[in-house]
C-alpha cells in the first residue's frame, strides 16, 4: 500500500506497524489516541490521502515514525507525554500557544503537556516523534530546537536513537536516557537568563560569525559565490567559517546558502505579485538552476514540488508563511469547519 519509500536507516523491524490507512477518519482517531486531543480537516484532495505509523520502544521512550500524504490543517492539545518532533521530509509550521514556529529537516519541535498547537502539513510529510513521560522533562521553555551545539546534539541523538530502535541495536535504553539528559541540558541553557555570559567565548564568536555570514548571503543569493569569497567578505578564515556553521547549523556555509536559496524560492512562489512569472525564471532569480535536482531538493525540504506551492498556498503577510498565528479565542476554541469541536 505505501508509495512513500522508507528511508534506509528506518527499514528495520524494530518499529512495528501501528497504522496504514487512506481513511482520514481512521488516521484522525489514531492520532487522537497516540498524541493527544485532536481535531483536523483535510485541506486538499490532490494526490490523495494516506498515513503510515510505526512504533517502537527505547527504554521508557516511544519512537513513532510517521509518513503521510495529503495537506492537513489540524488543532491538537498535547496530553501527558512530552513529544519531540523531528521532520525528515517536508515543512512543519506550528503555532504553539500562539507562537509561530517553522521546523525543517535538521531541526526539532518540543511539545509539552497542555500545549495548544495549530498546524498545517505539506503535501508530503515524514518525521520522527519521540514520546517521553512528562516526569522525565519537567518545566517549560522554548519549543524550537534550531541552532547551537546543544540543539544539534539533541537532534543528532534523537535521529540516532530512532535508527537504533528500527534496527534493534543493543544499548537503546542508554541512548534514551542520554537523549533525555541532552534535552534537559538544552532546556536549562535556554531558560538561563545569563546564558550569554556563561557560554564559552568560542561559541559566542561562532554564533556572531554565522549571523554575519547569513546577512552577507542574503543580498547575494541570486549570484554565485564561493566559500572563499564569503570568508573574505567577513574577514574570516575559511576554516573558522566552516567550523562556525557546522557548530551552529549542522551544515557547511555553502549548504546553508543552498537552503537559503530554496527558502527564497518558496517565499517568491507564495508571493501573489509574482504569480505570472514562470517558475524557471523565479528559480534562476533565486540562484537555482531550473532543473530536476533543484525541484527534488525543494520537495525534500518543503514536502511538495514548486508548482504545488504556487497552486495551493496562501502566504502569511510578511513571513512567507501560509499559517497565521491565531487569536486567543482561536487558540482556546478553534475547530476547523466540518470537524468535531469536542
CA 193 to chain centre: 26
Domain 15-194 class?
A: mainly beta
In the chain, where are the structural domains located? 15-194, 201-312
**Alpha-carbon span 128 to 159, nearest angstrom:** 8
Q: What is the pLDDT along the chain (342 residues), one digit of tens a residue?
A: 344 455 556 888 899 999 999 999 899 888 888 777 778 888 866 668 999 999 999 999 999 999 999 888 888 888 889 999 999 999 888 899 999 998 999 999 999 999 999 988 888 999 999 999 999 999 888 999 999 999 999 999 999 999 999 999 888 999 999 999 999 999 999 988 766 545 666 778 899 999 999 999 998 999 999 999 999 999 999 999 999 999 999 999 999 999 999 999 999 999 999 999 999 999 999 999 878 889 999 998 999 999 988 886 544 333 444 454 443 333 333 233 333 333
Backbone φ/ψ region at 125: left (φ over 0), alpha (ψ -120 to 50), beta: beta
pLDDT at res. 31: 83
Q: Determine contact, residues 141/98, Cβ cutoff 8 Å.
A: no
- What pLDDT was estimated at residue 91? 83
> How far apart are alpha carbons 128 and 52 in whole angstroms?
12
CA dihedral 291, 293, 296, 297 (to 10 degrees): -120
- What is the Cα–Cα distance from 265 to 252, expressed in whole angstroms? 20
Strand, coil or helix: what is 341?
coil
Range 201-312 has CATH code 1.10.287.130 = no
Amino acid at each position: 500500500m505505501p508509495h512513500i519509500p522508507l528511508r534506509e536507516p528506518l527499514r528495520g523491524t524494530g518499529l512495528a506497524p501501528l497504522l496504514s490507512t487512506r481513511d482520514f477518519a481512521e488516521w484522525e482517531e489514531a492520532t487522537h489516541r497516540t498524541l493527544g486531543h485532536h481535531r483536523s480537516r483535510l485541506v486538499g484532495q490532490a494526490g490523495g490521502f494516506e498515513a503510515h505509523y510505526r512504533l517502537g520502544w527505547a527504554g521508557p521512550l516511544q519512537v513513532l515514525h510517521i509518513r503521510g500524504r495529503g495537506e492537513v490543517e489540524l488543532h491538537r492539545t498535547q496530553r501527558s507525554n512530552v513529544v519531540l518532533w523531528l521532520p525528515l521530509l517536508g515543512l512543519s509550521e506550528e503555532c504553539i500557544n500562539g507562537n509561530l514556529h517553522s521546523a525543517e529537516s535538521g531541526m526539532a519541535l518540543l511539545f509539552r503537556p497542555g500545549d495548544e498547537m495549530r498546524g498545517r502539513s505539506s503535501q508530503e510529510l515524514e518525521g520522527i516523534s519521540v514520546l517521553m513521560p512528562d516526569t522525565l522533562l519537567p518545566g517549560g521553555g522554548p519549543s524550537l530546537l534550531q541552532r547551537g551545539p546543544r540543539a544539534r546534539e539533541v537532534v543528532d541523538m534523537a535521529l540516532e536513537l530512532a535508527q537504533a530502535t528500527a534496527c534493534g541495536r543493543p544499548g537503546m535504553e542508554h541512548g534514551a536516557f542520554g537523549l533525555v539528559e541532552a534535552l534537559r541540558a538544552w532546556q536549562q541553557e535556554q531558560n538561563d537568563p545569563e546564558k550569554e555570559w556563561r557560554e564559552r567565548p568560542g561559541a559566542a564568536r561562532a554564533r556572531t560569525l554565522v549571523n554575519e555570514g547569513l546577512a552577507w548571503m542574503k543580498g547575494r543569493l541570486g549570484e554565485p559565490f564561493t566559500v572563499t569569497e564569503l570568508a573574505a567578505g567577513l574577514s574570516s578564515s575559511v576554516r573558522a567559517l566552516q567550523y562556525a556553521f557546522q557548530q551552529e547549523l549542522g551544515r557547511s556555509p555553502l549548504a546553508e546558502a543552498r537552503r537559503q536559496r530554496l527558502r527564497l524560492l518558496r517565499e517568491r512562489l507564495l508571493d501573489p505579485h509574482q504569480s505570472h512569472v514562470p517558475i524557471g525564471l523565479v528559480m534562476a532569480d533565486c540562484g537555482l538552476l531550473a532543473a530536476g535536482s533543484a525541484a527534488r531538493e525543494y520537495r525534500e525540504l518543503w514536502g511538495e514540488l514548486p508548482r504545488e506551492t504556487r497552486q495551493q498556498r496562501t502566504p502569511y503577510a510578511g513571513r512567507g508563511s501560509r499559517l497565521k498565528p491565531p487569536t486567543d479565542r482561536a487558540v482556546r476554541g478553534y475547530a476547523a469547519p466540518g470537524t468535531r469541536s469536542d
